[in-house]
Amino acid sequence: MKRIYLVPTVLMSCVSFTYAQQQISGTVQDEKSNPVHHVRVVNIQNQTTAITDSLGNFIINAEKGNILEFSLDNHTQRITVDNRTNYPVTLKSKISEIEEVVMIGYGSQKKSDVTGAVGSVKSEDFNKGMVANVGQLLQGKVAGVNVANVSGEPGANQNIIIRGVGSLRSGTTPLYVIDGFVIDNSNTGTANNPMNFINPDDIESLDILKDASAAAIYGARGANGVIIITTKKGKKGRTQMNLSSNLTISNLANKMNVFGADEFRRQVTAAGGKLDDMGGNTDWQDELTRTAVSKNVNFSAAGATDTSNYYAALGYEDQEGILHNSNLKRYSGRINVSQKAFNGRVNIHFNLNGTRTENNRPNSTDVVSNMLTWNPTYPSYTDGAPTTVFNNGAFNPLIRREIYKDFTTNNRILANISPSVEIIKGLTYKLNLGVDYSTAERVIQNIPHAIPLEIGTLNLSNYSNNNTLLENTLTYKFKINSHDFNVMAGHSYQKLMLTSRGWYYQNFPINGIEPQYQIPAAGATNQTTSVIANKNELQSWFGRVNYDFQDKYLLTATLRADGSSKFGANNKYGIFPSVAAGWNISKETFLSDVEPINNLKLRASWGKTGNQEIPGKVTKKSYQADASGTAQATYPLNDSGNYPIGVYLVRADNPDLQWEVTTQTNIGLDFGILNNRLTGTVDFFRKISDNIISVINTVDPIEPAPTMWKNIPNMQINNTGWEISLNYNSNPNKAFTYSIGGNASLIKNEVKNSPYKVISTGEAQGPGTTNAVINGYINNEPIGTFYVREFVGLSENGTNIFRDVNGDGIITDNDRVAAGSALPDFTYNLYLKAAYKNFDLGLNFNGVAGNMIYNNTASTLFSRGRLGLSHNTTDAATQFPNESVNNTNVISTRYLEKGDFFRLNNATLGYNLNPKILGIGEHIRNIRFSVTAQNLFVITKYSGFDPEINTGLSQGGIQSFGIDYVTYPKARSFVFGVNVAF
C-alpha cells in the first residue's frame, strides 16, 4: 500500500528565550499551509511527548540543545532546540511507496528500481486479530497470491497459490526465506501448518517474489513463488518497549441445517424408515462444539545507535478451537542483534528464534460426522452423565472425545549469523551461516473403554529435521557517470536430514492408566514399527547484475545453477536464467511536467525457475522382501539382477530424471497519479511448467519393476493471467483520513499434452464411495477439474439416472464429463481504512468466483437411505420425494456446487489513548485498544459449513483441491486487544 510520509523542515525565526527548561510551542503545516494533526513530538532528553491537535499546534517542555523528534506514519525526523519559543514547522510530502525498500533475495532494492513482479506487505498492513502463521497475515493483501484457509482448526494448513498451480506432485507451497535463511518444511512432525513456529508479532514485512525474474535467484525452489520474511529490528532513538495482549472469543460461524428432533421424526417416517426414537431432543452441533477462549501475550524491546541495534521479544499464544480437545499453544523467543565496526565497514547480523508448539487435536472427521448425523432423539446425558447405552449400541461421541488423544510437541530453533566486510569501496563480502533444527514427538491414543467396548491403542512417533545452510556472496556496487551497477555472485550449500521413527500397539488393558504411560509389553499386542530417513544436499552457484541508467532505464539479469542429490547421476544440475527490464517513463522530460502523472514505470521479464520437491531416493532402485517367500531372503549387494529368493525390485532407478522447469513471462505497469494518492499496478503473465515429474506404472514387459519416476514427455501445465492492484489515499492532513483499495487476479489454468485420461487430484471418502475419483488433471482442462457422471434425475423406481455421454446404452466410467474446476478463475480482495482523531477503522473483504466444490459430506452422509436408518441429515436427503432408500451415492454432478463467495474477513476498530490524560505520559508513549471481528459474514450459495475448504483424499503426493468431507468448521471470532508502548 502507498503511504505519504511527511518530513518536517523548520522555518527558522529568531526568538530568544532563557536556557532553563520551559514550554515551547509550534504549529505543523503542510506546503499548502494546511494544519497537520496526529504528528507525535518527543523530547529525546526528558522523554516528554506531545501530539499536534486538529490545528497542527503542539506544546512541549524543552531547553536549548534538546532534540525534538517528529513522528508520523512510522517515519521520524529530528530538530534541535535553539533560542526560540515558537517553532513553525512545514512538512514536505515524500512518497514512500516509490522509495520503499523491498527484499529481492540476497539483497534489497528501492521499489522504484524493481524490474520483477514483487508484492510487499508491511506489518502495519497485516491482517489483525487471532493469527497463527504467515498465510493468515497475508491473505488478501497481494494480487496473484491466493491464500485459502481450508480448515477452521487452530493453526491449520493453508493452500497458498502464487499465480496458479504449476506442478503435479510438489503441491502449491511457496519457498519461505526468513532473514536470509531458506526454510525446509518437508516434514517437521507437526500435523498442522509448519510455519506456526514463527510468531507473527515478530515479523516486520513480507515480500512476495511472483515472477521468474524475481524468484530465479532461488533457482531450483522458486517455481511456486518465494515469500521473504523479514523480522523486526531496532530503530534509532529511545529504547522502545511494547506489551500487547489479546483475548479472543470464538464460536461456530455457520451451523448446518440438519433436522431437529421433531422434524427428524416426521422425515424418517415419511421416508419409510424405522424410527429409532429415545425421546430426546439433542442438538449435537451444540453438544460437540464450544465457545473457545484464546489468549495471546507479546513483549518486545528494541533500540539502536549509530553502530548497533537490537530487538528482543517473548511471546505466548494459546489458541482454542471450537471443537473440544483442540488447541495450539506457542511459546516463542527471538533475539536480533546487529553490530557495526571499523567505521561501518564490518557488519555482523545475528538472528535467533526459539519456539515450542504444543498441538492438541481431536479426531475431527469423526466429531464432525457425529455432530451432523447423530440421531437428535438420542439424549446426550442421562442422570447428569453422558449416556452410555443407545438402542443401536453406538458410542456416545461425548465419551469418545474424552478417550481419544492426539498430542504433538515440537521444539524448533532457527539461528543464523551474517558477518560482512567491505573489502574496498563498494565491494562487500558476506557470509551467511545458519541452522534450522526441529524435533517433534506425537502421541495418538485411544484409552480402552468397557461399555461400549473400545480397545486401547497407542501410536508413538518421533521426528527430527536438521537443515544447515552455508552461503558466501560478493557484492560490488559502483557508478560510472550516470551508470549504476550492482553485481552480486555467490555460492550456497544446504544439507537437510530428516529422520522419523514410529511404533504402534493395541489391546491395552483397562486399568486406569493411559496407554502412553504403560509398558507396551505388559499387555499390548500387534506391535508395528515404521522408519523414515532422508538426506538431501543442495549446492548452487548464482549471480545477478542490476543496471540503472539515470534512474530511467533498468536492467536485471540473473543466473543460478542448482545441484540436488534427489536427481540421478546424469542430471543433478539445472540452470535457471532470467532477465528483466524497466523503464521509468515518468522521469522522461516529456512527462516531467505532466501534472496528474507522478509515477509511471513499465516492466518486462522472462525467466526460468525449477522444482525439486520430490521424495528423496526416488531415482534409486528399491527392493522389497516377499513375506510369503523364504526366510533366508537377503538384500542384494549388486545390480546383477540375480536377486535372492524372496526379494524383488519394486522401483526402477532413473539416472536421467530431470528438473521440473517453469518458464514465465511478465509485462507490468506501475503508476501513480494525483500527487500519488492513486497508485496501482497492472501485470500480465504467462507461466508454463514442463518436464513434469511423476511416478508411473511401467508398461514395458522387459522393465523389471512395476513403477519408475519419470519426466512425462511433452506434458505442460499453463497459467495465463492478469493482476491489478489499486489504492487511493485521502489528504493525510485532514481530521478525517481514509484509504481504499483492492486487488484482483484473473487466471486461466490448463493442462496440455497429458498422456493420461485423468490423473487424480482428489478421491472420495466414506461408505460406498471410498477411492472413487472426483477430480484431477485432464487434457485441455484446468487442474482440479471434476471428472464425474452427469446426474439428470431419478427413474420411476427412485434410482439415479446419468447421461449416456458416449451413447453405448450403458453407464460406465467412460460417461464421465469435465464439470468445472476447483480452482477459481477470479479472486479479489477489497480494503478500507479510515481514521478520525484517535479512532481508526479497518475492513478487509475477500472473495472468489468461477470454482466448484464437491460436497463429499452430502454425498456420503445426507442420503435418503441413511435417513431411513435413523441417521440425521439435511433436506438434501428429501430433495426428491420419490427417491428410493436403496439408491446409491454415486460420484456425480448431483453433489457439485458453486464455490463462489464474498467474505468480510477482518474488521478492526481501534482507539489510541494519549497517556498524558492519565498522567503517565513520561513513561508510556501510547496506549491502544482494539476490537477485531474475524469471519464476520460470508455470502455464498454453498450448502456446507464454509466454501473455503479442501479435505479431499489425495493419492501419491498429488495435492487435492475443492473437496469437502466433514471439514473442521470455521469459527467467527471477536478479538479484544490492548497494546502499550513504553
CA distance 79 to 56: 17
Inter-residue contact 271 to 868 (CB < 8 Å): yes
pLDDT digits (tens, 9 = 90+) for 583-595: 999 888 887 667 7
Place of cell 501445465: 717
Supply the pLDDT for residue 32.
Answer: 57
Pairing of strands 693-697, 237-252: unpaired
pLDDT digits (tens, 9 = 90+) for 832-852: 999 988 899 999 999 999 999
Q: Which residue has the higher pLDDT, 492 or 100?
A: 492
Supply the pLDDT for residue 182.
Answer: 92
Quick one: which of 86, 87, 83, 58 has its CA closest to 72? Answer: 58
pLDDT digits (tens, 9 = 90+) for 405-438: 999 999 999 999 999 999 999 999 999 999 999 9
Supply the pLDDT for residue 51.
Answer: 80
Task: Express the helix, strand and coil content of the chain in percent, nearest 5 each.
Answer: 10, 50, 40
Supply the pLDDT for residue 978.
Answer: 94
CB-based contacts of 505: which residues, under 8 Å, 6+ apart?
A: 457, 458, 515, 520, 524, 525, 526, 527
CA distance 404 to 388: 16
pLDDT digits (tens, 9 = 90+) for 429-462: 999 999 999 999 999 999 998 877 788 899 999 9
pLDDT-derived band at 639 (thresholds 50, 70, 90) equals low
- 212 SS3 class: helix
**CB half-sphere exposure, 857, CA atoms < 13 A:** 32
Amino acid at 946: D
Supply the pLDDT for residue 31.
Answer: 60
pLDDT at 651 over 70: yes
| Dihedral angle of Cα 226, 614, 660, 114, to the nearest 10 degrees | 10
Whole-prediction pTM value? Answer: 0.87
pLDDT-derived band at 86 (thresholds 50, 70, 90) equals confident
pLDDT at 19 over 50: no
Quick one: which of 352, 350, 328 has its CA closest to 195? Answer: 328
CA triplet 63, 69, 74: central angle to 5 degrees?
Answer: 165
- 450 burial (CB, 10 Å; 0-12 / 13-18 / 19+) is exposed
pLDDT-derived band at 314 (thresholds 50, 70, 90) equals very high
Instruction: Name the percent of the chain lying above pLDDT 90.
Output: 54
Q: H or E stretch including 727?
A: strand 716-729
Strand partners, 96: none
Phi, psi of 685 (to 5 degrees): -140, 155
Instruction: Name the percent of the chain lying above pLDDT 70.
Output: 91
Supply the pLDDT for residue 27.
Answer: 82
DSSP string, 347-407: EEEEEEEEEEEEEE---HHHHHHHHHHS-TTS-SEETTEE----TT-PPPHHHHHHHEEEE
Supply the pLDDT for residue 3.
Answer: 40
pLDDT-derived band at 953 (thresholds 50, 70, 90) equals low
Over residues 170-190, the mean pLDDT reads 86
pLDDT at 45 over 80: no
Contacts 24+ apart (CB under 8 A), 709-712: 709/614, 709/618, 709/619, 709/651, 709/654, 709/657, 710/654, 710/657, 711/657, 711/658, 711/660, 712/168, 712/754, 712/755
Q: H or E stretch including 858?
A: helix 856-861
pLDDT-derived band at 675 (thresholds 50, 70, 90) equals confident
Over residues 240-256, the mean pLDDT reads 94
